[in-house]
Chain A
Amino acid sequence: MTYYQLISLIAFLICFLSLSYHFFRLVRLGLPKDYSRKTGNLKSAVTYSFTGAMNPLKKESAYLHLPTYTAGILYHTGTFISIVLFFLFFFDIKLSFALRLILICVLIVSGISGIGIFIKRTITKKLRLLSNPDDYISNLIVTVFQIFTLIALFQESFIPYYFICAALLFLYLPLGKLKHSLYFFAARYHLGFYYGWRRVWPVKSNKQIK
C-alpha cells in the first residue's frame, strides 16, 4: 500500500466512523412514536417518500427549476460514481477503455454541473444570502474530487494527487452539510412516516371515495 493510499484509507475510516456515530445516534433515539390513531399505511407511504414523491413532476423544487434540478441530479450521479471509482482505484481494479471513456464523459457533465451550481450560488442574491462558507467549500471539494477522478481515469501519474483529494473530501464530509448523504435518507423516512400516518401519502387519484 502506498503512503497516499494509506492516507486516504485513514481519512475514509474517520469519515465512516463519524457517519456511523450519526447513524447510531439516530438509531438510539428510536423510531417516531405517535399516540394518535393511525389512518394510513406507513410502509407504502415511506416507499412513496423515496419514489413517487421524488418524481420531478410532483415537486415544485424540480419542475419550477428544471435546469438546476437536472444539474443537481447529474452532480449527485457524478459524486456517486466517483465514490465507487475510489474503491476501484484503491484496489487497483482496471477498467476497460470503453468504460473509462463513458465514465469520463459522465464526469465531465457532472463536473460542469457542479461548477454551474457553484456559480449559481455565488451570483444569485437569493442563494448567496442563504449560504455560509460550508456551502461553498462542500460544493467545491466535491466538484474538485469529481474532476480529479476524471483525470485519474486517463492519467495514472495523477493517482497520488487523486488520493490526497479523496482524503480531504472524506475528512471534510462529516463536518458540514455533506452529512446530508446520511440525513437525506432519514429525512425522507420521517416525511414518509408523518404523511403516511395521516393518510396524506401515498397520493391517490381523486377516487378515494366513490
Chain B
Amino acid sequence: MKNNNSQKHKAIRILSESKDNKLVTHLNSCVHCGLCAESCIYYLTTKDEKFIPARKVDLISSLYQRYCTFTGKHFPFLTGARNLNEEIIDEMVDQLFGACTLCGRCNMHCSVGVDISYVVRAGREILSEMGFVPATLQSTVNAAIQTGNNMSIPVEEFTDTLSWLEEDLRDEVNDPHASIPLNVQNTNILYTLNPREPKFFPLSISAMAKIFYAAKESWTLSTSMYDVTNYAYYTSDNNEAAVIAERLYNEMLKLKAKRCVLAECGHGSRAFRWEAPNYLRKSFPFEVITSVELLVEYISKGRIKLDKNLNKETITLHDPCNLVREGGIIEQQRYILRNAANNFIEMTPYGIDNFCCGGGGGQLSMSEYNERRMKIAEIKTEQIRKTGAAIVATPCHNCVDQLIQIDNKFKLGVKIKTLAEIVADAIVLE
C-alpha cells in the first residue's frame, strides 16, 4: 500500500467513528438478495457480476464489518469482513469510481431500501482520504480550486466570449440596449454557468440571455465565480467540496442577489442546492433554484410568450439523474417542453425510473473508463432510437456531452439541446 498507516486509520475512522445514522443504517441493511442487479446499467450491459450494486455496497460494508462489528473483528470469515489492503483498494477504485455513475436508480428499486449511492459515496470518501481518487477526476477538482472554474478559463477569455455573445444578442432581439450583465449588485438573480458553456456551448448562454431579456429580468453573471459544477462532490472530498461551494455562497452575499439560479447542470444543481448547505453546515439566506424551475415560472406567469410551432421537430427528453431522481425536478421539464414544442415524446422508462446516460458520477472526467462509459450508453442509445425523435432535450450539460458522444458513436442522427435553447427558439418577442 503506497499510503502509510495513519492514512489508513483516518480512512477507517470514516466508518468506525461515523456519527451518521444514515450510513450506519445502510451499512447494516443489505441482505445480498442481488435483486438490484437489473437496475444497474453496468450490469445490464455487461452481465458482469462484479457490477451488481450490492457488491459495491459489500466492498464498503466488508470494511465496516471488519473494523466496527463484533462478528467482523472476531469471525471475519462469517460475514465476509475484509482488511483494508491493496487488493480491496484496487477493487474499490475500479468499482466505486469506474463502475458507478451515482445515478441512484438501484436505491429506488432495492428490495430493502438501501441508499446504495450514498454508501458508494462513503466508499469514495475512504479512497479520497487515502489519496486514491483517479488522477483525471482529481485534476478537474484541482482546476476548479486553483482557477475558480473546472476548465481553467481565464477571466479575459470568459469576458471576451460574453462580449461577442452580447453583440449577437443585440442583433437577435434588435435592441442595442440588450445586455449580458456582469458583476452587478442587488439584482434579482445571480445566474451560474457550467464552464462547458463558455468553452464549448456558448449558444446555451445566448439562449438564457435571450430568455432573461424577454422576461425583463434583473440578473447578472459573476466573472469571479460562475461555475455551477462541483466535482469534489464526485470525489467525495467534503473539504474540497466545501471550498468550491463556499465561493459561490460568498459571491451571492457579495453581489447581494436575491436568488441563485443554477444553470442546466444535474450534479451542479445537486451539489449547490442540496449538498452545499451540508458541506458548509449552514442554511443559506437566499433562495437557490434551478433554471428549469425559473423557466416554468416565466412560462406559467406569462413573463415570456412562446409559440410551440417554432419547434416543429419531434423532441424527446433525457432526465438527468441528479436533477430528477435526486433532486425532485420531475414534471417541470415536461411542462416546459409541452409549452415550447409541438411534438414532445417520452422515452421508456422516464422520470424517476430513467436510465443514466452513462456520463454521471464523474465518468466524463475519467478517461481511463471511456470504453466502459460508452458500453453502458447502449441502453440510452436504444431508448432514444425507439422514440424516433429528431432532438434530445436535457437540462444538464454533462448529459449533453455524453449524449453528443452517443450520437456520434451510435449514429443516431439526433440533435442534442438544452431546455433553454428550445425555449429560446420558441420565444415570441413583443
Instruction: Supply 14 A–B pairs (Cβ within 8 Å), ascending by A.
Output: A26-B24, A37-B277, A53-B108, A129-B49, A130-B58, A132-B79, A137-B78, A176-B78, A177-B32, A180-B112, A190-B21, A191-B115, A200-B328, A200-B330
Q: Taking A61-B36, A125-B49 as contacts, is the C-beta distance between A134 and B80 under 8 angstroms?
A: yes
User: Are B29 and A184 in contact (CB-based, < 8 A)?
Assistant: yes
- Nearest chain B residue, comparing its CB with the CB of A40: B328
User: Are A60 and B21 in contact (CB-based, < 8 A)?
Assistant: no
The total of Cβ contacts below 8 Å across the A-B interface reads: 175
Q: Which residues of A contact B334 (CB under 8 A)?
A: 206, 209
The answer, among B28, B77, B273, for a CB contact under 8 Å with A183, is B28
Q: Number of contacting residues on A, CB 8 A?
A: 59
Report the minimum CB–CB distance from B66 to chain A (whole Å).
12
Residue B256 is within 8 A (CB to CB) of chain A in the complex: no
User: Are A177 and B31 in contact (CB-based, < 8 A)?
Assistant: yes
Residue B70 is within 8 A (CB to CB) of chain A in the complex: yes
Interface-located stretch among A1-9, A62-70, A99-107: A62-70
A:162-197 near B, CB below 8 Å: 175-177, 179-180, 183-184, 186-188, 190-191, 194-195
Residue A97 is within 8 A (CB to CB) of chain B in the complex: no
Residue A131 is within 8 A (CB to CB) of chain B in the complex: yes
Residue B194 is within 8 A (CB to CB) of chain A in the complex: no
List 16 extra interface pairs beyond A36-B278, A180-B31, CB under 8 A: A37-B277, A37-B288, A59-B111, A60-B39, A60-B109, A61-B33, A127-B32, A129-B49, A130-B52, A132-B32, A133-B80, A177-B79, A188-B113, A190-B22, A198-B327, A200-B328
Chain B interface bracket (under 10, 10 to 19, 20 to 34, 35 or more): 35 or more
The answer, among A36, A59, A61, for a CB contact under 8 Å with B274, is A36
- Nearest chain A residue, comparing its CB with the CB of B38: A64
The answer, among B25, B37, B324, B335, for a CB contact under 8 Å with A126, is B37
Residue B423 is within 8 A (CB to CB) of chain A in the complex: no
Report the minimum CB–CB distance from B131 to chain A (whole Å).
28
Q: Which residues of A contact B276 (CB under 8 A)?
A: 36
- Nearest chain A residue, comparing its CB with the CB of B105: A60
Report which residue of A29, A60, A135, A195 has the largest number of chain B beta carbons within 10 angstroms of its beta carbon: A60
Report the minimum CB–CB distance from B414 to chain A (whole Å).
24
Residue B55 is within 8 A (CB to CB) of chain A in the complex: yes
Interface of A is mostly: helix
Q: A208 vs B331: C-alpha distance in the bound complex, in angstroms?
A: 6
Q: Which residues of A contact B71 (CB under 8 A)?
A: 134, 175-176
Residue A91 is within 8 A (CB to CB) of chain B in the complex: no
Residue A34 is within 8 A (CB to CB) of chain B in the complex: yes
Residue B164 is within 8 A (CB to CB) of chain A in the complex: no
Q: Which residues of B contact A72 (CB under 8 A)?
A: 33, 111
User: Are B300 and A209 in contact (CB-based, < 8 A)?
Assistant: yes
Residue B196 is within 8 A (CB to CB) of chain A in the complex: no
Q: Which residues of A contact B280 (CB under 8 A)?
A: 35
B65-81 to A contact mask, C-beta < 8 Å, 1/0: 00000110001011110
The answer, among A53, A127, A130, A209, for a CB contact under 8 Å with B331, is A209
Report the minimum CB–CB distance from A151 to chain B (whole Å).
27
Q: A137 vs B352: C-alpha distance in the bound complex, in angstroms?
A: 36
Q: Which residues of B contact A180 (CB under 8 A)?
A: 28-31, 112
Q: A129 vs B55: C-alpha distance in the bound complex, in angstroms?
A: 9
Residue B124 is within 8 A (CB to CB) of chain A in the complex: no
User: Are B39 and A35 in contact (CB-based, < 8 A)?
Assistant: no
B:41-92 near A, CB below 8 Å: 49-50, 52, 54-55, 58, 70-71, 75, 77-80
Q: Which residues of B contact A175 (CB under 8 A)?
A: 70-71, 75, 78-79
Residue B281 is within 8 A (CB to CB) of chain A in the complex: yes
Q: Taking A61-B110, A68-B35, A203-B352 as contacts, is the C-beta distance between A32 and B29 under 8 angstroms?
A: no
